[in-house]
Structure formats: C-alpha cells, structure tokens
Amino acid sequence: MLDATREALAELGWGGLTMGDVAQRAGVAKTTLYRRWPSKSELVVDAIASLFDQLECTDRGSLQADIEAVVARFAELLTLPETQAALLALFAEGSRDPQLRLRIRERIVQPQKVLVELGRANAQARGEMDPDRDPAAAAEEIGIIFDTIAGTVEHRLLVSGEPVTADWIRRFTTLLLGPFPGLLR
C-alpha cells in the first residue's frame, strides 16, 4: 500500500492522488486503507517515512565517514521521483496544516534525528568527540546538525536541481565538521 501510494503520488501529484487510486493500485479495498490511515496526508507521511526508515548510521570508523554515508543514502532516496513528489507535496500541505506538520515531525523528522545522535555517540565512543557535558546543549546541536544536513541536501536536489556527488558530499561534510564543538582532530 505504501509503495502504491508513492507510485501514485509520483504519477498523479498531490491533487490527483486519491485513496481510491491507491487502493486500486495496491489491490485492496478502500476501507482497508481508511482503517489504517484516516486521511490521504497520513497515508503519504507513512509512505515517505517508510523510505527514510531505510537510512542508518553505521560505524565506518570516523565521524566524517559516518556522515558521508548517511548523506549519500539520503541523497539517493531524494533522487527517486516518488520521494521528490511526496516531499514537495508534504512541505506545501504542511505549511497550511499544523496537524500535518506535527505528523511529519513525529514520523519523519524525529526518527531521522536519531541518526545524528547515533553518529555523535559513535564519535564519542571512538574518542573523536568530547563527551556531552550539557544534555540540553547537545540536544540543540543535534537538531541544528540534522536541520543543516537535511536542509542542505534537500535544497541542492529539490530546489536547485544540482547533483550530489561524492566530491560534493566530502566537501559538505568537511565544512559541516570544521567548526563542530568538541571535535578532536
């Protein structure tokens, strides 16, 4: 059902997407969709969240390598037409619907911030970063880092239409880590 949602969204756009079309593509009854997702926006959020659930932060031996791998995979997901269509539609709809914006934050943004937390914890365990002394400041830094990574990659691909190459990822990560507090070089 989530695959069918992304496929329909890429083909039809937000305005053309209906629960009936998704049900037909998925080979299920509309009531099956409505039992699980009471609205089109909830269905689309879950369809996109399931894609981003594929992102993971594996310990690659350095914070730079960890971030580069996540950015590369994130960029790869953002090049999919269904991801682009869904995200742009969700951003537009979320700007008018506070409940949808909250759902996006809970289902898409917050789970991805865990990747930043994990990357930070791996770097601290490897001795690359000082331990956190102020949990509130660390949480704020995690949010800023996530926003910087997500915003930059989304802007590059979805707004500017520029490619995300391995060289660009390396340069971006180097710039990102340059002023990072507590990073032991």
pLDDT per position as a tens digit, 95-148: 999 999 999 999 999 998 989 899 999 999 999 888 988 999 989 988 998 999
pLDDT at residue 20 is higher than 80 = yes
Residue 48 lies in a domain: no
pLDDT on residue 181: 56
The domain total for the chain is: 1
Residue 18 lies in a domain: no
Residue 132 lies in a domain: yes
Residue 82 lies in a domain: yes
pLDDT at residue 185 is higher than 60 = no
The per-residue pLDDT for range 57-81, each reduced to its tens digit, is 888 999 899 999 999 999 999 998 8
pLDDT at residue 48 is higher than 70 = yes
HEC string of the chain equals CHHHHHHHHHHHHHHHCCHHHHHHHHCCCHHHHHHHCCCHHHHHHHHHHHHHCCCCCCCCCCHHHHHHHHHHHHHHHHCCHHHHHHHHHHHHHHCCCHHHHHHHHHHHHHHHHHHHHHHHHHHHHCCCECCCCCHHHHHHHHHHHHHHHHHHHHHHHHHHCCCCCHHHHHHHHHHHHCCCCCECC
Residue 128 lies in a domain: yes
pLDDT on residue 180: 63
Residue 137 lies in a domain: yes
Residue 27 lies in a domain: no
Domain span holding position 163: 54-177
**13 or 155, greater pLDDT:** 155
CATH code, 102? 1.10.357.10
